[in-house]
Amino acid sequence: MFYWIPSNQNVKNFNKHSAVDLIRFATTGISRTDLAEEMGLTRAAVTLIVNDLLENGVILEAESRAIPNGRPPVVLEINPKRGLVAAVDMGSTHVNVALADFSAKIIEEISLPFDITQGPHVCLAEVSRILQVLLARSGIGISQIMAVGIGVPGPVIKDAGMVMSPPIMPGWDRYPIRQQLEKEWGCPVSLNNDAELGALGEWAYGAGRGENNLAFIKVGSGIGAGLIINRQIYGGTTGSAGEIGHITIDENGPLCTCGNHGCMEAFAGGNAIASQARQLVKSGKRTLLSNIPSETISAQTVADSARRGDLPSQEIIMRAGTFIGIAIAGLVNLFNPSAVIIGGGVAQAGDLLTTPIRQAVRERSLHASEQSVHITTAMLGQRSSLIGATVQAINIAIHDATERKSPVLKEIPTTEIKQAAPTE
Ligand SMILES: [Zn+2]
């Protein structure tokens, strides 16, 4: 099944965990009959598994809302109140920390400006401080948090729980992030690359539901891709798969943060977009951006003014879209995904960015691959990676809960539970 890897070869346990994942990620409700069919088991065998899961409180039975007339079939759902997790999405200039229930619904969330270049000591202390604020605000003790999922903007060595030579995270190379936080928080921590988590978040609860193979392109200050292949995160040998931003577009092009020249990111990343906009203003061309102090121009402000109809801003965004599209065409040729999801701050520009991307992919990918790929923007808005981190934390917590003989039901505070929905 999707995530859980059995620590022993106990078939009954393996089936139990597979059933939990099928129930978690079913796009519409799943019945006992569906489960028997999906798992190739008899109704009786499924009943045993389901009763076990109902007994320890991991799942519950609900009436399907899918059929408007007649007696609705009973479907199985994850019991959202079975446990709590925390999720952290560290970007280069922002951090998002959230508490969520077992259905990945965000209970409380704080998003703040952040500077990843301050290194692990300062940054992790800040994350801990924010988590404490969230817990205090929701009346939850740290001991009630069953697991924490974390995303960072660098290549992650998964088994070691650290990053390796991250280009935009100076001072973080091989710092034991996971070990440090597990010691501090007293619960299991999972560490992933933020683009990987974006892919996972969109696959589980966003624009990529039901897809087997997808790519999530995070267009922020830099550009990275998260890959899901056969419903598994694909990180590569050293966690640096999906570095689509460093594909060379023009060997004589501008200098990139990685030290090479002409990388796609150096043409189309958020930093490149902002610097092109500053040049435009300097050239004296008529643009809405002239009304903004030059040092505050960011990719976001260019996207905003493009949306407000400013032609020169639109040109910058569309040209970035073409470069991103050229790289995505290569990715589509290479790995033939059924969906490519564009996320990150610059994706808020919507069609202005996706139209030239689609066009470049149409022109530059092989027909068979291009015909079968669906290119769209992230459904979870700026929260794709945060929701992905939540999914990773729940992976640990829910399978731990599944293993327990007796349920440890914890009351979730009555704070209004927000839907894991787009931020806009
Ligand atoms: Zn580069």
Domains within the chain, CATH numbers bracketed: 11-78 (1.10.10.10), 83-199+382-403 (3.30.420.40), 210-378 (3.30.420.40)
pLDDT at 351: 92
The residue whose two tokens read 């970035």 is 320
| CA quadruple 110, 111, 112, 115: dihedral sign | positive
Rounded to an integer, what distance in angstroms lies between the CA atom of residue 374 and that of residue 32?
A: 32
Taking the C-alpha atoms of residue 372 and residue 394, their distance in angstroms, rounded to an integer, is 32
Q: Which residues contact 295 (CB under 8 A, 6 or more apart)?
A: none
Task: Give the distance (Å) from ligand 1 centre to CA of residue 319.
Answer: 18
Distance 144 CA to ligand 1 centre (A): 42
- Banded pLDDT at 405 (limits 50, 70, 90): low
Q: How far is the CA of 378 from the centre of ligand 1 (A)?
A: 24
**Cβ within 8 Å of residue 163, ≥6 positions away:** 152, 154, 155, 156, 157, 169, 172, 173, 174, 175, 177, 239
Cβ atoms within 10 Å, residue 158: 16
In this predicted model, what pLDDT tens digit does every residue of 339-381 receive, in sequence order? 999 999 888 888 999 999 999 999 999 999 999 999 999 999 9
> How far does residue 47's CA lie from ligand 1's centre (Å)?
53
Distance 268 CA to ligand 1 centre (A): 11
In which element (H, E) is residue 106 found?
strand 106-113
Ligand 1 centroid, distance to 154 Cα (angstroms): 13
Selection from 253, 344, 245, 351 nearest residue 298 by Cα: 344
State the distance from the centre of ligand 1 to the C-alpha of 140, rounded, in angstroms.
43
Q: From ligand 1's centre to the CA of 96, what distance in Å?
A: 26
Q: 243 alpha carbon to ligand 1 midpoint, in Å?
A: 9
Q: Are 31 and 51 in contact (CB under 8 A)?
A: no
Stretch 237-259: mean pLDDT = 91
Smallest Cα–Cα separation from 268: which of 294, 239, 303? 303
Measure 196 CA to ligand 1 centroid, in angstroms: 19
Lowest mean pLDDT: which of 220-229, 233-242, 247-256, 301-310? Answer: 233-242
Residue 6 pLDDT greater than 50, yes or no: no
pLDDT band at 257 (very low <50, low <70, confident <90, very high): confident
CA 257–ligand 1 middle distance (angstroms): 6
Residue 256 C-alpha to ligand 1 middle, in angstroms? 5
| 134 Cα–ligand 1 center, Å | 37
**CA distance linking residue 209 with residue 202, whole number of Å:** 7
pLDDT band (50, 70, 90) for residue 90: very high
**Greater model confidence, 119 or 257:** 119
Separation of CA 223 and ligand 1 centre (Å): 10
Given a cut of 90, whether residue 188 has pLDDT beyond it is: yes
Integer angstrom CA distances of residue 219 from 29, 153, 216, 348: 33, 12, 10, 10
Task: Report whether pLDDT(240) > 90.
Answer: no
Separation between Cα atoms, residue 377 and residue 344, nearest integer Å: 9
Query: What is the distance in A from the centroid of ligand 1 to the CA of 244?
Result: 9
Query: Rounded to the nearest whole angstrom, what is the distance from the C-alpha of residue 194 to the centroid of ligand 1?
Result: 18
Tell me the torsion sign for CA atoms 366, 371, 373, 378: positive
In angstroms, the CA 196 to CA 153 distance is 10
Going from the Cα of 365 to the center of ligand 1, the distance in angstroms, rounded, reads 22
**CA 206–ligand 1 middle distance (angstroms):** 29
pLDDT at 418 over 50: no
Beta carbons of 388 and 192 less than 8 angstroms apart: yes
Angstrom distances, CA of residue 310 to CA of 143, 299, 398: 51, 14, 49
Query: For residue 16, how far is its CA from the centre of ligand 1 (angstroms)?
Result: 44
CA 288 – ligand 1 centroid, Å: 30
Query: From ligand 1's centre to the CA of 308, what distance in Å?
Result: 31
Q: What is the DSSP code string of 143-196?
A: GGEEEEEEEESS-EETTTTEE-S-TT-TT-BT--HHHHHHHHHSS-EEEEEHHH
Q: Helix, strand, coil % (nearest 5) of the chain?
A: 45, 20, 35
Contact criterion met (CB below 8 Å) for 151 and 385: yes
Q: Please give the distance, rounded to the nearest whole angstrom, from the Cα atom of residue 254 to the centre of ligand 1.
A: 10
392 Cα: distance to centroid of ligand 1 (angstroms) = 29
- Centroid of ligand 1 to alpha carbon of 204 (angstroms): 30
104 CA to middle of ligand 1, Å?
A: 34
Distance 265 CA to ligand 1 centre (A): 6
pLDDT in tens, 124-157: 999 999 999 999 999 999 999 999 999 999 999 9
Q: What spacing in Å lies between the alpha carbon of 247 and ligand 1's midpoint?
A: 7
Report CA(189)–ligand 1 centroid distance (Å): 30
Where would I find the beta strands (DSSP E) of 205-330?
A: 214-219, 223-229, 232-234
Ligand 1 centroid to Cα of residue 167, in Å, is: 9
Residues 173-178: contacts with CB within 8 Å, 24+ apart? 175/120, 177/120, 177/124, 177/150, 177/152, 178/150
DSSP alpha helices (H): ranges in 26-118? 32-39, 43-55
Which pairs with CB-CB distance under 8 Å and at least 24 residues apart come from 128-132?
A: 128/181, 128/184, 128/185, 130/95, 130/97, 131/86, 131/88, 131/97, 131/185
- Beta strand extents in 290-371 (DSSP E only): 339-343
Tokens for 237, please give them: 């040998």
Residue 403 confidence (pLDDT):
82
**What number of other Cβ atoms are within 10 A of residue 251's Cβ?**
8
